[in-house]
Chain A
Amino acid sequence: MSSKQPDRRKFLKSGAALAGGLTMGAVEPAITEAPADEQSVGEQSVQIPPQEFPNYSSPELVAYGLRSHHVESVREAVNGRPSPDEFGLLFHIGTPLQDQMGSITPSALHYFGTTRGSFVPDIDPATHRLMIHGLVDRELIFTMDELKRFPSVTRPHFIECAGNRASPRHRRIIDSHGMTSCAQWTGVLLRTLLEEAGVQDEGTWIVAEGVENVKGASSLPMAKAMDDILVAYGMNGEPLRPQQGHPLRIVVPGFEGILSVKWLRRIKVVDRFYMTYNDYGHLRQDPDQAALSYQIGPKSVITFPSAGQQLSGTGFYEVRGLAWSGGGAVSRVEVSTDGGENWFDADFRETPQPMAHTAFSFNWTWDGSETVLMSRTTDEIGQIQPTRAQFEGGQDNSIQPWRVESDGSVRNGLS
């Protein structure tokens, strides 16, 4: 309908031609594949990217914007396991922390985790409901409109998957730390809804359950439910994305990510740990390991320079990173630029918030010699991020060293 649509098609076509040209190399000029590209292509078309770009002034992009096509940062399947796989099933997808600016992850780049692979459901908010039942005085069922009428809160919180762990095999930060992201979440405190239903004295746990095919469910202690669990419908200023639980999810601040149940439909108040679907796979044999896998410890990582990146020469750099803790707000970040011999306080680039990624920075002048960069954080309840040697298992929050080589390349410093 729109007069701009041919432009869009032209762009898509030239994009396909470019991709074809790249894979075929110079052997077969892409020109035969791209008649729409005539004005700008010649024999050089394989080497020179098309000068065309999305029409940022089109009605579509006026209605809902698009990032520049010069920006190429994307998420990636974790550990090389295809996601989606051949059946369209999604597995873990990491967020490109190496490119992130500030502490809020764009919704389109938020990491994706799953218990057993997921088909992302399409849920109509007009017909979606949340039911609260079990050991309550008043069982209740809410429409989305009713949930949005409750007093709301808006808070930044990170979510981190238990699968985020350090290894000498990791080549980039997306491999070692890509399964954590931080968004600004908007919703109702679960406490508000539970008080509306009236929790009975025996109600010591809840089970939160999604409406997707597999009905993923997690058990959570009432103390957490009554503290800061969010029943969220908003993310970074707009409704949740489908991959993040549209139209409704819980966000369990600071606890392992699997507990933040997506596509939330039901909360049952119960009298014990229910060992339900998501809980079973995370059972531990040792109580200390269970405790260390539950609330996430104090953790930080340098995002620039990080493994896989390249310094362009000697001189000044702002070392940047993120720090967070499941125990509250972080209170301090220290950086070492000499492999841990000397530590200096880094600067916070924002006011640290409880259970939220916090951006930090440290001014550094590289003299061109080999060295190792590290960061460590302390949180407001006094927990200190451990070295690899101090780390005793559970959710991996150990200090990540990045080795800077004399040619400016940056590698994983673990061996």
Chain B
Amino acid sequence: MGSLKLLPVLILLGPAAALAQSPTFGLGRTPTAEEILAWDISISPTGEELPPGRGTATEGATVYLIKGCVGCHGMAGADGAAPRLVRRPARADRPNPDPWSLGRILPIRSPYAATVWDYINRGMPLNDEGILTADEVYALTAYLLNLNGLIAEDEVMDAQSLPLVEMPNVDNWAPLPDWAPGTPRLPGYAH
């Protein structure tokens, strides 16, 4: 009966629209909302999917110690075996260096604070990924941002405030090319 009612609608839309809207093979099932929530850890650069939670740099300094970050990244993000997390002091003759010249320091290189959150959340600590709570990730993100002079020690980072942090590279990164099949890599470049 339901399909009879749909018939006029399909005729109005035309066959192409009808094809585009219906599955062809009918394989697979619909995941539950809980299943999607459990697996969907993607955070967009502007932070729409950031979960509830909060943290400050002061709290993050403690998390950094007790969760073992310090063991690989060193005291206050410097001089560890793992990548450096804090910029070196600016030279007197170059007070405002290009952030790209400072090396691949996550909270400097990353054009968005939400990207720092996502990186820590999915990637840290090495081989123990997934143990950090949302509060701890907010606190660690705040700690790294504060170490690099981007926010104050007691500034609360949460789903609302974190995406508003102005990162030094926000307008200083190259978008990827507008790709199409069968096109050269770069117009005007023969190679």
Question: Which residues of A come within 8 Å of B, CB atoms?
Answer: 87, 89, 116-117, 119, 131, 133, 137-143, 146-147, 149-150, 192, 195-198, 207, 209, 213-215, 217, 221, 223-224, 227-228, 265-266, 268, 270, 272-277, 280-281, 283-292, 294-295, 297-298, 326-328, 381-386, 390-392, 394, 397
Jot down 10 A-B pairs with beta carbons below 8 A, ordered by A.
Answer: A138-B30, A147-B27, A221-B179, A266-B39, A268-B42, A273-B175, A274-B45, A287-B174, A290-B177, A291-B177
1-39 of chain B: CB within 8 A of chain A: 20-21, 23-25, 27-31, 35-36, 39
- B35 CB contact (under 8 Å) in A141, A276, A381: A141
Q: Which of A133, A143, A207, A391 is the one whose CB lies under 8 Å from B31? A: A133
> Counting CB contacts under 8 A, is B111 at the interface?
yes
What residues of A have a CB within 8 angstroms of the CB of B66 in the complex?
none
Contact A139 B176 (CB under 8 A): no
Which residues of chain B are near A133, meaning CB under 8 Å? 31, 36, 40
Instruction: Chain A residues near B133: list those with CB within 8 A.
Output: none
B103 interface residue per 8 A CB criterion: no
Contact in complex: B182, A285 (CB < 8 Å): no
Nearest B residue (CB) for A142: B28
B106 / chain A contacts, CB cutoff of 8 Å: 280
Nearest A residue (CB) for B22: A198
Which chain B residue has the least Cβ–Cβ distance from A265? B39
Q: Which of B29, B40, B185 touches A268 (beta carbons < 8 Å)? A: B40
Question: What total of chain B residues lie within 8 Å of the partner, measured CB to CB?
Answer: 52
**Residue of chain B at shortest CB distance from A116:** B123
Taking the closest CB of chain B, its distance from the CB of A163, in whole angstroms, is 14
Asked if B20 and A381 sit within 8 Å, CB to CB, the answer is no
Residues of B with C-beta under 8 A to A198: 20-21, 23
Contact residues, B29-72 vs A (CB, 8 A): 29-31, 35-36, 39-42, 44-45
Give the residues in chain A near B185, CB-CB below 8 Å: 291-292, 294-295, 297, 326-327, 383, 394
A131-B180 contact given A285-B174, A292-B186, CB 8 Å threshold: no
* Additional pairs, 9, CB under 8 Å, beyond known A215-B122, A295-B179, A383-B184: A87-B127, A192-B25, A198-B23, A266-B39, A266-B40, A276-B115, A280-B109, A283-B173, A383-B185
**A301 CA to B24 CA, complexed, in Å:** 44
Q: Is B24 touching A195 in the complex (CB atoms < 8 A)?
A: yes
Q: A285 contacts B172, CB within 8 Å?
A: yes
Q: Mark B107-141, 1 if CB is under 8 A from A, else 0.
A: 00111100100110011001101100000000000
Tell whether, in the assembled complex, residue B119 and residue A280 are in contact, meaning their CB atoms are under 8 Å apart. Answer: yes
**Are B24's CB and A214's CB within 8 A?**
no
| Alpha-carbon separation in the docked complex, A201 to B45 (Å) | 20
Q: Which residues of chain B are near A87, meaning CB under 8 Å?
A: 127
Return the CB mask of B67-100 against A: 1 if under 8 Å, else 0: 0000000000000000000000000000000001
Measured between alpha carbons, how far is A143 from B31 in the docked complex, in Å?
A: 12
- Whether A196 and B35, one on each chain, are in contact in the complex, defined by CB atoms closer than 8 angstroms, is no
Residues of A within 8 A of B119 (CB): 277, 280
8 tightest Cβ-Cβ pairs between the two chains A and B: A386-B191, A290-B174, A291-B177, A140-B28, A141-B31, A287-B174, A142-B28, A215-B122
Q: Choose from B28, B39, B45, B130 the contact partner of A196 (Cβ within 8 Å).
A: B28
Residues of B within 8 A of A281 (CB): 104
Are B30 and A140 touching (Cβ within 8 A)? yes
Contacts A394-B185, A397-B191 given; indicate if A290 touches B176 (C-beta within 8 A): yes
**A interface, over-half SS:** loop
Chain A residue with the shortest CB-CB distance to B130: A213
Contact A223 B127 (CB under 8 A): no
With CB as the reference atom, state the residue of chain A lying closest to B23.
A196
Q: Which residues of A contact B44 (CB under 8 A)?
A: 270, 272, 274
Identify A146's interface contact among B28, B177, B184, CB under 8 A: B28
Q: In the docked arrangement, what's the CA distance between A295 and B110, Å? A: 23
Residue contact A149 to B25, C-beta cutoff 8 Å: yes
Separation of A288 and B189 alpha carbons in the complex (Å):
10
A283 touches B31 (CB 8 A): no
Given A119-B127, A133-B40, A298-B191, answer yes or no on A149-B27 (Cβ-Cβ < 8 Å).
yes
Asked, given contacts A116-B123, A272-B44, A277-B122, whether A294 binds B31 with beta carbons under 8 Å apart, the answer is no
Q: Which B residues lie within 8 Å of A209 (CB)? A: 41-42
Partner of A142, one of B27, B42, B190: B27
Q: Which residues of A contact B115 (CB under 8 A)?
A: 275-276, 280
Residues of B within 8 A of A116 (CB): 123, 126
Whether A275 and B45, one on each chain, are in contact in the complex, defined by CB atoms closer than 8 angstroms, is: yes
In the complex the two chains form, what is the Cα distance from A149 to B23 in whole Å?
Answer: 14
Using A198-B21, A283-B174, A286-B174 as known contacts, say yes or no to A328 and B28 having CB atoms under 8 A apart: no
In the complex, are the beta carbons of A215 and B41 less than 8 A apart? yes
Question: How far is it, in angstroms, between the C-alpha of A228 and the C-alpha of B36 when the chains are bound?
Answer: 26
Known A223-B179, A274-B44, A381-B183; judge A196-B27 contact (CB<8 A): yes
